[in-house]
Structure 1
Amino acid sequence: MGNYGFIKVAAATPKLKVADCVFNTTEILKVIADAEKSGVKAIVFPEASITGYTANDLFHQRLLIEGAVNSIDGIKRALAESDIMAIVGTPLEITNRLYNVAVVIHRGQILGVVPKTFLPNYNEFYDKRWFSSARELSQPETELCGQTVPVGTDLIFETKDFRFAIEICEDLWTPVPPSAIHSLYGAEVIFNLSASNETIGKNEYRRSLVNQQSARCIAGYVYAAAGNGESTTDLVFSGSSMIAENGNILASSERFSFDSQFCVADIDIDRLRNDRLKNKSFTPSEYNHFSSIKYRTITIDTIGDDKKADYKLDRYVNPMPFVPSKENMDARCSEIFAIQVGGLAKRLLHINAQTAVVGVSGGLDSTLALLVMVKAFDKLNIPRANIYGITMPGFGTTDRTYNNALKLMQSLGVTIREIPIQDAVMQHFKDIGHDKDVHDITYENSQARERTQILMDYANKVNGLVIGTGDLSELALGWCTYNGDHMSMYAVNTSIPKTLVKTLVGWIAGSQLDKSSQEILIDILDTPVSPELLPAGENGEILQVTEETVGPYILHDFFLYNMLRFGYEPRKIYFLAKIAFEGKYDDAIILKWLRTFYWRFFSQQFKRNCIPDGPKVGSINLSPRGDWRMVSDASVALWMQQLDAMQ
């Protein structure tokens, strides 16, 4: 699809005059025209937007009811050549009863009518004085504007891109909103036509209702609220329209505006469908009292041109989805760190271990692992001296990382062991007949495996636990030596991606440590990521920079998150990446590393199928016992074919 799985929707609050159907219809059509220019495919208006919700006893005047029908007919005719779909609110008489309804209009046709079910009749509300509940309907169809139209709350509207259903205002405020049932039967977006008034604190509560219902339903929720045009005789309406998606408010309108307005957002239907596929409790068969409900599907032939290539996305694309926002940084980092610490502490308690061993390289991953160990030992009242930090200089170790490793361990008060590996590796080269001047994969991996052997054997010596340092990004790319740094007895960073490792170390530096330790961490943060397995430069600088070989971790973490969390295909990830990294990486670079990501992800699964235990921290994890079960010989051909077509 040219829309990459998104549907652009709007929630509108037009200017309004109570009981002036002609004025209100004119404003509705103006808003529809403006929304269509913005690429909106579906727009919803407030409850009784044709007449005004506060018309009160004027609802009993036949002239007003007939005027509302004429307005519906006028909107229908005006949209005959238009692509946008409009959902408007109006009173409608059906077999001698008046209903508060939503009317769905598209391409000059009325597709369906959905009445309000729950009628508030308390405090300032008197809906039952004028309207009947949808429960009183005795027929599945009605005649409206020269059409026989489906009517009822059992309607799901289906386009080629998404499925939606409708509820009206008070329906949302009930213990079991109709939208909950609609969603179980396939509605992916809920449109709500509302006339909720303002009182102190009500706006915050209303936003929480919309947000929570979108989360419970794993749906988009488009809420259109009546505005200042409604009567202020006893109530005030602010036009608090909003659009939510699975627990996140995507857009909201300005409150108390005297102008017609609408808020726009792109709802990610792919994302919703992926979450529903995973959630096996998301089915009516799990709910006996809902399983017998029958729905009618209203098929809509088309909404928009799905071949349009220049789709404009009206939503923020986060380039670092694993990293907490500035507003939540302290709370989220504290929680992540606590999960890592809690996991390690429990493992130490379980096996009654009083010691632990970790390789400290002076890099980011081993730094975070050591910080987690220190906090866990403090939590268990075990002396920090029982942590054995082992630095193992090799052929590529630079003075910078070597000194940082020593300084960090000294500042944290752990026991330091220095065990150089050059002689042991040279003997190994001699044993297997490898030329020390050939700096190939054997040259590199021999060092990694020698270090792991030292850690394992030293842990046996001190009766301790080897703590792994490798992170989630390295596991995704297979950027680890099989049975080398790939292996440990407990891996505290196993679900922490590289971008988050850096964020956590920075957060700890700024909030958890004394000044001397902070300075060390700051320099570690500024050090290029490298395994340091190849010799350094003439001036001792790091020449083997990981991101020059496998690509920027910020890109790979973006690819990983969107592939695993939402099941996106390569073309959609590429589309989103171009938006997220505009001005930082050009399209060719993004596509190059996206190909690398997929090839490495599929080819390196055999490493992930035998990784050590480690605590799950976020929504993405690659443990073969938990979130990601994949055979080691799965083919990447299908994904590469799509990538090839994007060249």
Structure 2
Amino acid sequence: MFGFYRVASAVNKTTVANPQKNAEEILTLVKEAADKEVSVVVFPELTLTGYTASDLFLNQTLLASQNESIQYILNNIKELDTIVILGIALLEADRLYNCAAVLQGGEILGIIPKSYLPNNKEFYEKRQFVSGRDIVRTATELLGKEVPFGVDLLFTDGRDMTFGVEICEDLWAVTPPSNHMASNGANLLFNLSASNELIGKHEYREELVRTQSARCMAAYVYSSAGVGESTTDTVYGGHAIISEYGATLAQNERFSLESSLITADIDLERMRWLRINESSYSDGRRKKTRLIKLKSLPMMSELQRDITPAPFVPSRYADKKLRCDEIIHIQAHGLIKRMTHAHIIKALIGISGGLDSTLALLSTHRAFEMMGWDSRNIIAVTMPGFGTTSRTKSNAVKLCEALGVTLKEVDITDISLQEFKAIGHDTEELSVTYENVQARARTSILMNMANQEGGLVIGTGDLSEIALGWSTYNGDHMSMYALNSGIPKTLIKYVIEYYKSNKAIADIIDDILDTPISPELLPHSDDKIVQETEEIVGPYELHDFFLYHFIKYGAKPDKIRFLAMRAFDIKYDEETITKWLKIFLQRFFNQQFKRSCMPDGPKVGTISLSPRADWKMPSDADVDVWLRMLE
């Protein structure tokens, strides 16, 4: 399943001080988890006894009953591959420890003691338990068998899963044990907890779990004690949370009167490679750990997780204003710094009526507004050629007029014809030469006008085009500041749509968004666009999806295809996705030479293809290995 694992957080209905009754409830949830093809299920702290048993932990009868119930559970999970993590009290060396026991296939694989014991206000854990924070390289005896015991235990399936376990207060500590577990390779973390409910505490708890998953670049699965715990002094809501790298994938409704089980499919392969691709993870200090090998895990028959088809676009509409403002400010401030440093007061933009030049113009205009600069010093140049339609030209002109910028027109038809004549090119031969002559003519005009005006040429090419090499070398490939170079096509549409809040340009924006994407380099037919980019190189929504997963964590092509089929469901079939993925890979490798000398431009999201920072790749790397994986 390409590194995906299904995990679960279970909150069992508790009967305080009745381990056998609790064991029966636990087994019901374990079997439910196994039926759902869950690899690992975690339960609350001190699962078998109840967390609130208090001084009964100091009574021999309760511990003896607990141990009998552990054996009962082991006897009933011998045929199951699902790993079960339970909270138990362990008597070792005449000390009592609050522990997590990892069970699989009728055996106890390891026991982890709690490191940090809360001992203030409503919590008095040190009254019964001692900390196990210094216990390493140790074993204990339980149910007549020797079991690895200590805070240095990690568990692995030998593939993509390595997990560690901490208990409740451990997560609240200044340096949680999970930090060290993650530094030693754990990409999945579990927490057995008994966190009582106070006003607003659940929000902080969820934020703590979510941010710890981000800090550790891991998935974090949390289960807290709930219904049935004693309410003598506190109430337990039974909070279950599953987070992955800063995002909460699932959480239950607290205060349920019945047992509950939540599941989520987590991408542990992605976690491993994100650590390599975009963090200082490898600088973390490693400690000696003991790695416990797991038996085979349940096989997932299908992925039960939504994969966003637009990974660059914020998923929540409520975030739109915040995200768009942020993008615009990054662009604007990047441009402001470049212009003020160069003592330049004018900006030149080739405006076509397409998406990219529209965003570049709008963001440049915003920069001038921020600085109180005269918008007439933005010189927008429309350069109609053989393929320019009245629709795109009209939109370009109307937008410039609405923004109050200086509009100039230079028809490139005669210039291009002169160039064709100079190199002996047949004007009827609509080849790449025919197209690139026009693109380079436009760039030459902008550069020369910039010299004439003492201005800066603003590049309009976006991240998607840079990835595909969909530009003319030393034509639209070149500028003095590539303003859109950090923004992919799908995000450009999103940001432009945001500008519709400006009623003066809303109708113009609508028509620009509705216009087919085209370089308009081939002659139009009855004033209609004949050259649609997405029919030639493929849908940008697919290419942006491919780009994100290829760059973000180095996903293999077969996994990218698998995820795309899930994300786009019935919109594209496997054959279509494979076709365009091959095109993406071929163009990405073959067009690297253009990226190797691309102009400066601001990084906007987590992915950039600048050769000076984010992406260093030889221009002559071979793509065959990647293509073979799709065969």
For Structure 1 versus Structure 2, the TM-score category normalised by the shorter chain is over 0.9
The Cα of 1:198 is off from its aligned counterpart by 0.2
Aligned to 1:516: 504
Q: CA deviation at 1:112?
A: 0.3
Query: Which stretch has the larger CA shift, 89-98 or 169-178?
Result: 89-98
Q: Specify the alignment match of 1:531 in structure 2.
A: 519
Aligned-partner SS, 1:303: coil
Structure 1 equivalent of residue 356 of structure 2: 365
Match of 1:447 among 419, 423, 438: 438
Deviation (angstroms), 1:139: 7.6
| Candidates 104, 127, 130, aligned match of 2:128 | 130
| Equivalent position of 1:211 in the other structure | 210
Q: CA deviation at 1:380?
A: 2.3
CA distance in 2, matches of 1:29, 1:146: 22
Residue 617 (1) aligns with residue 600 (2): no
Alignment of 1:308-347 (within 5 A): 311-324=301-314, 325-347=316-338
> Could you say what secondary structure the match of 1:443 adopts?
helix
- Residue 70 (structure 1) aligns with: 68
**2:35 maps to 1:19:** no
Partner of 2:253 in structure 1? 254
Task: Report if aligned partners of 1:471, 1:498 keep a CA contact under 8 Å in 2.
Answer: yes
Separation (CA, whole Å) in 1 of partners of 2:187 and 2:117: 25
Q: Which residue identity does 1:333 align to in structure 2?
A: C
Amino acid at match of 1:399: S
Does the residue aligned with 1:559 lie in a helix, a strand or coil? helix
Aligned residue number for residue 482 of structure 1:
473
Distance in 2, matches of 1:138 and 1:601, equals 49
Corresponding residue for 1:194? 193
Alignment of 1:73-472 (within 5 A): 73-135=71-133, 140-160=138-158, 161-278=160-277, 281-283=280-282, 287=285, 293-305=287-299, 311-324=301-314, 325-472=316-463
Residue 314 of structure 1, CA deviation: 2.7
Question: Residue type of the partner of 2:512?
Answer: I
Distance 1:280 1:358, change over 3 A: closer
What is the aligned partner in structure 1 of residue 630 from structure 2? 643
Distance in structure 2 (CA, Å) of the matches to 1:388 and 1:550: 31
- Report the CA distance between 1:355 and its aligned residue: 0.9
Task: Quote how far apart the aligned CAs of 1:47 are.
Answer: 0.3
Q: Deviations over 1:78-137 (max 9, x none)?
A: 111111010011112112211111111111111000111111110011111111211475
Q: Deviation of residue 536 (structure 1)?
A: 1.1
Show CA shifts across 1:289-326 (max 9, x none). xx5x4211111232234xx7xx4223221111111221
SS across alignment from 1:613: coil
Letter in 2 for 1:59: F
Measured in 1, the distance between the counterparts of 2:358 and 2:133 equals 63
> Structure 1's 139 and 363: CA in aligned 2 closer, same or farther, altered over 3 A?
closer
Q: Which moved more, 1:169-178 or 1:54-63?
A: 54-63
The residue that corresponds to 2:565 in the other structure is: 578
Checking the alignment, whether the CA contact within 8 Å between 2:136 and 2:150 is kept in structure 1 is no
Cα distance between partner residues in 2 of 1:147 and 1:254: 39
Deviation at 1:584?
1.6
Structure 1 residues 382 and 242 mapped into 2: Cα distance closer, same or farther (>3 Å)?
Answer: same
Contact 1:44–1:224 (Cα < 8 Å) also in 2: yes
8 Å Cα contact 1:7-1:269 kept in structure 2:
yes
Name the CA distance, whole Å, in 1 between partners of 2:395 and 2:157.
59
In 2, Cα distance between equivalents of 1:180 and 1:46 = 21
* Residue range with higher mean Cα deviation, 127-136 or 595-604: 127-136
Deviations 1:142-161 (A, max 9, x none): 11123210001111111123
The whole-number CA distance in structure 1 between the counterparts of 2:137 and 2:589 is 56
Distance 1:532 1:386 in 2: 27
Inter-partner Cα distance in structure 1 for 2:295 and 2:593 = 46
Separation in 1, partners of 2:331, 2:555: 29
Deviations 1:583-621 (A, max 9, x none): 222222111111111111111101111111000000010
* Aligned counterpart, 2:6: 8
Amino acid at match of 1:301: K
Letter in 2 for 1:388: I
2:48 matches 1:50: yes
SS at match of 1:328: helix
Instruction: State the distance in 1 between where 2:612 and 2:236 align.
Output: 52
Per-residue CA deviations over 1:316-367 (Å, capped at 9, x if unaligned) read 2111111122121110110011000000011000000011111000101001
- Measure how far apart 1:378 and its partner are: 2.0
Measure, in 1, the Cα distance between the counterparts of 2:613 and 2:23. Answer: 55
Give how far 1:382 is off.
2.0
Alpha-carbon distance in structure 1 between the residues aligned to 2:10 and 2:197: 17
What is the alpha-carbon distance in structure 2 between the residues aligned to residue 42 and residue 346 of structure 1?
51
In 2: Cα distance, 1:483 partner to 1:296 partner = 57
Residue type of the alignment partner of 1:498 = K
How far apart in 2 are the matches of 1:137 and 1:465? 64
What code does the residue aligned with 1:4 have? F
Letter matched to residue 24 of structure 2: T
Runs of 4+ in 1 over 6 A off after TM superposition: none
Aligned AA (2:491): L
1:543 pairs with 530, 537, 541, which one? 530
**How far 1:216 sits from its partner (Å)?**
1.2
Shift of 1:574: 1.0
CA distance in structure 2 between the partners assigned to 1:364 and 1:277 by the alignment: 34
Q: Evaluate the alpha carbon distance shift between residue 407 and residue 139 of structure 1 in structure 2; reply closer, same or farther with a 3 A threshold.
A: closer
- Cα distance in 1 between the residues matched to 2:277 and 2:441: 41
Q: Structure 1 residues 529, 279: CA separation in 2 closer, same or farther (over 3 Å shift)?
A: closer
Output the CA distance in 2 between the equivalents of 1:221 and 1:367: 42
Which residue of structure 2 lines up, in the alignment, with residue 606 of structure 1? 593
The equivalent position to 2:551 in structure 1, one of 552, 561, 564, is 564
CA RMSD of aligned residues (A): 1.4
- Matched-pair contact (CA < 8 Å) for 1:320–1:558: yes
One of 589, 593, 600 as aligned partner of 2:580:
593
Offset of 1:71 from its aligned partner? 1.2
**Unaligned residue ranges in structure 2 (runs of 5+):** none
The amino acid across from 1:595 in the alignment is K
1:620/1:627 contact within 8 Å kept: yes
Evaluate the alpha carbon distance shift between residue 494 and residue 137 of structure 1 in structure 2; reply closer, same or farther with a 3 A threshold: closer
Aligned-partner residue type, residue 58 of structure 1? L
Q: How many residues are matched?
A: 629
Q: Which amino acid aligns with 1:323?
A: V
Q: Partner amino acid for 1:103?
A: A
- SS of alignment partner, residue 563 of structure 1: helix
